[in-house]
Structure 1
Amino acid sequence: MRKNIEILFIKTINNMKLRDKLIFTFIVVVFIPIMVVGLFLTYELRDNAVKDAIEQSQVNVERVKKRTAEILNVPIYISNNLQFDQRLSELVNTSYKSTYEVVKAYRDYRTFDYFLQYYPEIYNIKFYMDNPTLINNWEFIPVGEEERNLFWFGHSVSEPGFNRWYYLADETKANHYYLSLVKRINFLEQKTHGTLVITIDPRQLKKILQQEPFLTMIVDESNFIISANQPHIVGKGLYEIIDPKHKIKNQPAVINGEINGESSQIIVDNLLPEMSQNQLRIISIVTDKHIVKDANKLSMLGAAVTLIGVIIAVILITSVSWLLSKRLSNLSQNINRLSAGDLSTRIVVDGDDEIGQLSKQFNNMVENIHGLIDQVEETTKQKNALEMSQNEIKLKMMASQINPHFLFNTLESIRMKSHMKGEKEIAKVVKQLGKLMRKSLEVGGSKIPLSSEIEMVRCYLEIQKFRYENRLNYELSIDPLSENMKILPLIIQPLVENAVIHGLEDREDGGMILIKTKVIAEFLTVTVEDNGSGMKEERLNEIIHMLAEHHEGNGNRIGLLNVHNRLQLTYGKQSGLMIDSQEGKGTKIQFNMPRGDENV
């Protein structure tokens, strides 16, 4: 039963038109998943908005913490400087005999005024000293019984050298409360100490907090609100703002709580200034109502976008299915023509989508078939040309070798008789000629080491040197890296022969022939250069044209075109002969070949 249902379903789908299949597929595969995903994304957007709001609040708290720490570092810096202020030590530890001396000492000591003038973070500086000869001018205050009973004063005396932060009333500022640094200053030479109180300007803290979008406040360890971006809560206790059941711990945290009856997120972070015994807390409160407002907007936006997307998708799928079926029908008709064997047919389908690309690729395939046919023909032609060239070499070698074994044996006999009669020069040249013939006998169609080719060149030049005597000189500059490289046989010797016959033969004073090989990177460069007669520009152009057109006159010698053709057929177009010549200055012939056949 189940199998029959599956067969019926597949048959029904296969019998449906392409447009109906696309619409059906859209409803089943696209519409339903879009609705599910849309609802999921809407929920995720709302949840992410809540998380982002909390993370942003934590970033804001961290920024407030950093900027507040910068302000608190100023009184710490000042207290460290006053710790080693010798003039301060002398002022507060001197026993004065008259009021005039005290007033004069106060007038001469302007350090406090300097700090107040150049550090806007500081609101007031006071110094308490157990010295009854001092006069209270609200900067220097002699310690009495009243001061000793102050809780913060007792802490400073019992904790020498450490900073403590208090929210203190300043009697010089109408007993208003300010955040103050309290530190004991020790005078080691006099074995005495005093208490320094540096008051922070509340406007500096207020300036930092006013930039925050949510309720943000700085709280001391006694839970007094030192500063806030809502001025009416400054000076109040923290638990007057926050329900006491939400205990604020002495560590960074995010707490769910209620503020003024509204559900809120309480972000807490600690600030411990350097060398301090107590810490402050930065607290930011973000109401859930504010968070959810943005999240609800995102939820509505997500739902609207999902609905609009579904409507647009329905319209587009209907239009696209019609266009698609029309183009596929056109493609099918053209493929039928191609299947009939008409390779000249081209598929024309507009667009760059898969159907358009399929038509272009099909056209490219037809073009490639034609190209492959042409390439096979060209390869066969080149292979035949190379074989003909190699055969031409063998035929010309055979034409120049009339019974070479007989000639070689005869030359060896001549050499021995010349040597026995003292004709060493004749014996030497006959030996070179015999060696040249032996090398010629060994030459076949395969590649030979470059050193063997150079040896043939050396034999040929020695014979020609015997002929021309001092009119011919030569130099071999062979790169050691090139000696074992395999090259085509009789590829350099014809170039040297060309230089002797056409370059130096007609010159009475003779000249020099330079044969040079050089391995550079992955290429071997071979140069044959002479300082002979050279060529006129017209003759040079004729030769270059001859090499380009692959046409040469009759002759039994292995000519430049033969060498040029074999190089290009074996190593590619870039490996042909390059000729440079100037009349009266000489000729230079050069070719390059890949460095791939060494040590074989």
Structure 2
Amino acid sequence: MKIKRLGKKFSFNNLNIKQKMLALYFFAFILPLVTITIILTKWINKTIMERQFALAKTSLEQTSSLLTSILTNCEQLGDTLFSTRAVQKALEYQFNSEQEVYKYYTTLSFLPDFSRSNPDVLNFIYYTENQTIIENAYFTRVTDEIKGKSWYKAAVAASGRPIWVIKNSETLDSQTLALVRALFNRTTGTLTGVLALHLDNRKIEQLVNAHKDQTIVLVDGKVAFSSRPFAFKEKLSLSTGLNIGEFKSDNILWGKDRSLTMLYGLYHEYGNSITLAQIIPHKDLESATNFVVLLCVLLMAGGSILSLSLLQIFTRYMAKRVSYLQMQINRIVQNNFELGPRLSGSDEFAEIYDALMATSNNIKTLIDEVYRHKIQREQLLARQNDIRFKMLSNQINPHFLFNSLETIRMQAIEDDNKEVAKTIKLLAKILRHNLSVSNNPVSLKAEIEAVDNYLAIQHLRFADRVKYSIDIHTDISDAVILPLLIQPLVENSFSHGLQDRKIGGLIEISIDTCNNGSVFQISIKDNGCGITKEELAKLKARLATGTVENFSSSIGMVNVNQRIKLFYGQDYGLEIESEIEKGTLVTIKIPAEFNSDGGKNV
């Protein structure tokens, strides 16, 4: 429940415009940008690492190819020197004198040519067991010290197979890579000596030092050459014994740094191996990618800051326009319809302001109309009350009036004067009806009955001078109407239309509906003197303007028309037609309304 309330509190609809824009900026821009940057950075990092790995591998392969070529040339020279019969004879023959040795050396004048034929080989030496040989640049007698050397023992143990070893060069007094091979008497099989070919360190060191990362040449796991200072003769925890041309990479802990090691097999025969190794610390590999990552991060941060600044400016601009609209709305809420200056531009906010201005003007106009109608209605009610007082001066005590009329009626009956009694009865009904009405709609049927009573009295007064008829063409049993609309018009027809008629005066009242039964149409027609066109035009103008000039004797048509329009609306009211010497027709048009108790209410 608490989580639900918290979620509702931070609902998107509860955020203001600035917060919504920031949320949109984060989810639509920052989050995708960070995601893309992370993915792109990882991809770039992987691509650069793979490229660096490929470049390092290619460079190592080139170096391996050159070193392999050096080793192969040395092996070929070693095969030639190993199989030379003249040398083997010198190693096996027991010389009797130095002159004999020197004389035999003249037959070995080709040895310097072998040395010069391969520039990668610094020199070669035969270590011989023949103590009768005189030592020179190519022959050295074996001593007990030499026999104790590991390389010498390894050569003897190899039984004539060539092996690569790390040994000291007597000429350079330094450690070098040498190919050693034991020589045996072909007849007796006894050891006659060991051939050692020393490679030129400068060539190998030049190839190894050409790499910026530490590059090592390993012989049986021992370091022979290194591009950086290294503890020689120390056994390394690197995979050796790779076949010629075989490549292998691995991750190792080099000192304190996690490093990538690449191994390339240069030689592998009979357990003797030479391996080229290169060690690249991961921090060196990552240094190139770190720059790209930093550049991506800086670009992302710069773009984010720039876009955020623009968003802040845009949000401030939007919030200012929204705040201005909100201020104008608050003015209307406080019934202040005088709005501020229009918003500039033609965007949606300007359109909202225009709609708000139109709404404000409409409300102001509507309020003015309501006030005007209210004042008119109050004036009308005041006039009606005044008229009612003028018409019914005895309204102060209606019970006294009705009791008096009833006494007179009963006296007329006792005197057998039925006409007087009937007249008094009709008059009492009219007065009772008029005194009981209010400002609310009353039964149309009761209104017609009151008009009928009025005309009946007039007929009793004037006999054949005035006749009347009431024709009802629709069901009015439940119909309701604003009171005192018909009777004033009937009075007006009698007092003004028929005043000059000596005989044959006629008032016709007709009640019908129109517009599919939605409008009552009540007609009061007389055959009196009529109205001239000029007077008719003036009367219609008065009906249109709603001015009342004379209320001294009766409720005029203008008053009735004004009441109808105020109560039912401007679409309803009176229509008048008249011709001189033909009469006048007044038509009341009002909505057809029915008492809800009768089952219908329009």
Class of the TM-score when normalised by the shorter of the 2 chains: 0.3 to 0.5
**Highest RCO, 1 vs 2 (Cα 8 Å, sep ≥ 6):** 1
Name the larger-Rg structure.
Answer: 2
TM-score (norm 2): 0.44
TM-score (norm 1): 0.44
